[in-house]
Structure 1
């Protein structure tokens, strides 16, 4: 054996030294050192791999570091070997280690530790007693080697510890969403205004006028919730329509209102209101009967989330001058949701609902700046993260525009109106880009915006583009199509949108080669294969993972191709997973597991980039693995493995 311990010794000296050592074989998961063991020497890993961990009986063991071949086990107890704080009379030479068993009259002290060491795989390790180290301690090369080992490991431990502490404190104090439930903040049923479906409008209005604590009444029929009436309904459905106040309340109530269980968490009520544009939620008990009412005001008083929440109508009425201020209000909303530990898919759903409203308002403002209303019907589409409903920080603009052309409608007796429409939507597209820029969306560096003629056109022009992309599938066109097929309708005519989707579906009938070329691109970019436990990739092998490049992009592309193969041309990634399940392409278990896995990946991705944004750092998609706990590492490994299964499933068709 040629090693630092023996390389400067003669063959005889090395042989005699190694005779005092012993080689041990450990099977996978065998304990090399127990926490209760007295450490009487070091282990040199010859082959295999070991891990140092904190044993736990209540939860998963926490791995601290990985020990690879030619590295030492037991360095944390080396200070007991190097101890020098004994009386000088018993230690005449302070540079020579003195062992506890050499102290006259002193009992041997066993130095227990909180950590254990076990084999990750079948491992061979050489046990080197401290008595052997003592014999060769005067060798400078040995001391340099041990110093390098100790300092390297100390650096890794401190670096990992600092990163984990930084990650845990960056978000600031967080509230546990499991603590606060709807029943803790709702108005109980006895304090809620209730009425029967046959009560008159006037009688219910009189009940509401006598209280200042609520602005809604729950309408019941045999104790079952039948509807809800708000003060807004009295204004819009009674006063403005001149409706008789003697008619029954059921004529103006919102039937079968959205309800929420009293055991639901705060964030569930919070996001339900935001996503559905409502401010009142009837609360139900275990028997689905009325338990109370929770309002947006109740939520605000309970948590004081952000000023943005106190005026959810702001986005619908914001002026062009106010656009630059909206971004920070939306980011305040994001901060609140991340701090409240709202599930990431729910957070993204809420944020993208608000971003949709912002974009729609920018489009409205742009149309108002035009000299006339649109001459024909049009549709505006998002691409990229906004289209996938995965946007949390405002990114570059990524959109295109479709409008009617000659032959799409009877409005065009000749080509003159077509030229008018072309000029109109060219000008409108530039105004939309300008207003989105004011709101915080940077211009796309690749010019994938409706202001670019290749991302704007009639149905017929888009049909020609799709035909060109699918027929001549060059790498450049494949990249364009990957972005295009993630589109989402954000504004415009629904009927035209359906016509456009049919054009896309028709184009795929002749696109087998195109889909094959897309699949080959993904074959060249496989999701990382984490054959071994991800924890074994840390320290010097792999400390970082590019979540966007190595995981999210392959996931999106694989899902996109699989969906297109089965005639699914539209929907967010989550919606496409559900559609593939409906078509029996994905099993129910795989559907659920895949959504859970992508939720895990997105959670790391969002929080990592959010922390970079908060710290004023350059935004990257690189996740530093040393910041994760053992449980998080295992969770990440399993999630990536499942997403790779999706990619493999798609590639199996080719």
Structure 2
């Protein structure tokens, strides 16, 4: 007699790893013994420190929240949804659970009996390696660790000292300090005796300045200051600070950015907290030529476009290395985006040298779109703009012509390096995108107060901007004007939200991928338009709704939204995770196919990859539903 319930369970399990690695009869044997749990929201499957169960679990429907409680504060580790496994601890060790597992919504959970599953996993090397790696890496969505191999290779990756790029920078703990009133002579003697190259000037155990060997040479040995001078007379202040978690690339970039050779390590990363140590340039190991700091030095020394193009190719190799090493994805975004910024800035500097005269007035260059959000990993289309200071009307034409000519040079220069021209001509070489501050303000007032399809699209692009070069105050003045106009016309945000709701869905009614049906890209899936943009657009609108300035990165926006709306924290965290998964997937596809990665041939994907994508789509519908309620869009649908 057929067991229809067991058949349904087997049909479900066979779609998800590691069950898809089992034979049909093995899967059937497990399915006949599965424990089916129907749980309301807020029910615990297990708690921290409880004894291990005789099952591990997989979510059939709903979601399960994994969390820790520290000092009565709940820290959510992850949210498991359809097809995610959790509670593997009894399979690996008989120690008590380390996390709480609580249903985040009404859920159906399958308990997989260890008594039957464990012998099967022991005899199946792929299943065993998969489960051990998943357990060791402490990752909720086990599909993302597919391909890491066995646990020994995973541990080797995590502990390999050659992984310069993900190591925290080693710093000197218990640094030698002095007071502001200490004399230069006393400082020099102490530095000589202690064999150190810098002395931190501290007050109440907090760093207020720093004196280096270079300061003694340039300020004292030259006779500018006497050896009886006090520390406060020659110290560099304020100091550059960071937390203990600063990585080697981040430290290199910070030193280059602030033209310093030392960083003070403090308890909370600011000068207002206790000094924990000091990090010097000497402490940082100089790595291979594709090290971020070395690349930035090369960029700043580059004289020709071919040099920058070569460096840009090195950045692409660096990105591939980072992905292969499975660095934390936000870390990859930060490093690659910072390098892109320096490349663009250097290009502007070199083009300015080719102009016959200096700029007639102050100006600022902005990157827009993905680079403006610091999310451009693969070289893609240029989106940029130029703002110049207001001038009398009689001077406007010649001033604009100067900056258009400069922009033409820069845009062409960037194209030579590898940044494609924008097909829609949203570049500073276009007079519409090269204008005075007052004209930009007026343009945005028109877009916001009289929203139409083109206006909302163009303005939303401009809300994602990054200052690159020039007078930053011009950018800030425009930003203040934008927020003032938006606050006076809330309907504009509703119009933006309506556009997000109208975005095409990534999957159809039967959870099949929706592919393109027109044009030259028929039968391919557009991950950018159908999956990434709804998450990007929603984060932008909600951050504008809260009137938060200077928050242009999608991950940072969702992090800030989770702080501002704790009642929606789980949703915003889910959106951030989905965005990371989708952008990483797009980047990997772009590297494989040597393109932008936005158009994906579904036939080239494995079943696991397709399932991974579909899981990441879930928050899209949820964030769209929030927008419908927040902006009262039902009447507009």
Pairwise TM-score range, normalised by the shorter structure: 0.5 to 0.7
Q: Would the aligned equivalents of 1:305 and 1:333 in 2 still touch at CA under 8 Å?
A: no
Instruction: State the Cα distance separating 1:230 from its structure 2 match.
Output: 3.2
* Alignment match, 2:303: 319
Query: Contact 1:597–1:642 at 8 Å: present in 2 too?
Result: no
Q: 1:444 to 1:243 in 2, by over 3 A?
A: farther
Match of 2:419 among 441, 444, 453: 441
Confirm or deny that 1:227 pairs with 2:205.
Answer: no
**In structure 1, distance between residues paired with 2:265 and 2:219:** 24
Contact 1:376-1:403 at 8 Å conserved across structures:
yes
Q: Describe the shift of the 1:484–1:258 C-alpha distance in structure 2 as closer, same or farther (beyond 3 A).
A: closer
Change (3 A) 1:221 1:53: same
Within 1, Cα distance between the matches of 2:185 and 2:416? Answer: 47
| CA drift at 1:597 | 3.5
**2: distance between equivalents of 1:438 and 1:254?**
41
- Distance (whole Å) between structure 1 residues aligned to residue 185 and residue 505 of structure 2: 64
Deviation string, structure 1 residues 115-145 (Cα, Å, up to 9, x no partner) = 9999958xxxxxxxxxxxxxxxxxxxxxxxx
Matched, 1:249 2:211: no
- Cα distance in 2 for residues equivalent to 1:576 and 1:254: 34
Residue 572, structure 1, aligned to residue 552, structure 2: yes
Q: Is the 8 A contact 2:366 2:465 kept in 1?
A: yes
1:456 corresponds to 2:437: no
Kindly indicate whether the alpha-carbon contact (under 8 Å) linking 1:275 and 1:350 is maintained by their aligned counterparts in 2. no
Q: Which residue of the partner structure matches residue 478 of structure 1?
A: 456
Distance of aligned partners of 1:245 and 1:285 in 2 relative to their CA distance in 1, 3 Å threshold: same
Normalising by structure 2, we get a TM-score of 0.64
* Counterpart for residue 559 of structure 1: 539
Alpha-carbon distance between aligned partners in 2 of 1:600 and 1:119, rounded to the nearest angstrom: 18
Query: What is the aligned partner in structure 1 of residue 182 from structure 2?
Result: 199
> Structure 1 residues 304, 201: CA separation in 2 closer, same or farther (over 3 Å shift)?
farther
Residue 624 (structure 2) pairs with residue 626 (structure 1): no
User: C-alpha displacement at 1:283, in angstroms?
Assistant: 4.7
Take 2:223 and 2:297, find their aligned partners in 1: how far apart are those partners?
A: 23
Does structure 1 retain, via aligned residues, the 8 Å contact 2:463–2:552? no
Q: Secondary structure at the match of 2:457?
A: helix
344, 359, 368: which one aligns with 1:383: 368
Q: 1:643, 1:271 → 2: CA distance?
A: 35
CA contact (8 A) 1:177 1:341 kept: no
Distance 1:343 1:649, change over 3 A: farther
Distance change in 2, residues 1:555/1:320 (3 Å): same
Tell me how many residue pairs correspond in the alignment.
Answer: 506
User: Could you say which residue in structure 2 is the equivalent of 1:548?
Assistant: 528
Any conservation in 1 of the 2:169–2:284 contact (CA below 8 Å)? no
Change (3 A) 1:188 1:556: closer
What residue is the counterpart of 1:504 in the other structure?
A: 482
Q: CA deviation at 1:451?
A: 0.4
- 1:588: Cα distance to partner? 3.2
> Which aligned pairs between 1:165-564 and structure 2 lie closer than 5 A?
168=148, 175-176=157-158, 185-187=170-172, 189=174, 194-205=177-188, 208=191, 215-221=197-203, 225-234=207-216, 242-255=224-237, 257-259=239-241, 278-283=260-265, 292-300=277-285, 306-310=290-294, 312-321=296-305, 322-335=307-320, 337-339=322-324, 341-406=326-391, 412=392, 415-470=393-448, 472-508=450-486, 511=489, 514-525=492-503, 546-564=526-544
1:236-274 deviation line (CA, Å, top 9, x unaligned): 666789333431223333446455565777677567657
Relative to structure 1, is the Cα distance of residues 294 and 626 closer, same or farther in structure 2, using a 3 angstrom cutoff? farther
Q: Which residue of 2 aligns with 1:102?
A: none
User: SS of 1:363's equivalent?
Assistant: helix
- Do the aligned partners of residues 265 and 579 (structure 1) sit closer, same or farther apart at CA in structure 2, a change above 3 Å counting? closer
**Counterpart residue number, 1:50:** 12
Larger radius of gyration: 1
CA-based RMSD: 4.9
Name the CA distance, whole Å, in 2 between partners of 1:325 and 1:454: 32
What residue ranges of structure 2 are gaps of 5+ in the alignment? 30-54, 62-126, 131-142, 514-522
Counterpart CA distance in 1 for 2:617 and 2:365 is: 38
